[in-house]
Amino acid sequence: MSVKIRLSRFGRKRYAYYHIVVADSRAPRDGKFIERIGSYNPNTNPATIDLNFDKALDWLQKGAQPTDTCRAILSYKGVLLKKHLQLGVNKGALTQDQADAKFNAWAAEKDSKIKAKIDALRTNERDVNKKRVEAESKIREARAEAIAKRNAERAAAEAAAKAEAEAANAAAEGTEANAEEPSTEA
Q: What residues of the chain score a pLDDT lower than 70?
A: 1, 177-186
Q: What 3-state class would DSSP assign to 134?
A: helix
**pTM as predicted:** 0.68
Instruction: Taking the CA atoms of 150, 156, 161 and 165 in sequence, report the sign of the dihedral they define.
Output: positive
- Residue 73 exposed, middle or buried by CB count within 10 Å (0-12, 13-18, 19+): buried
Amino acid 65: pLDDT: 94
Say what the pLDDT of residue 183 is.
56
In angstroms, rounded to a whole number, what is the distance separating the alpha carbons of residues 182 and 18?
A: 107
What was the pLDDT predicted at 18? Answer: 95
Q: How far apart are CA 142 and CA 116, in angstroms?
A: 39
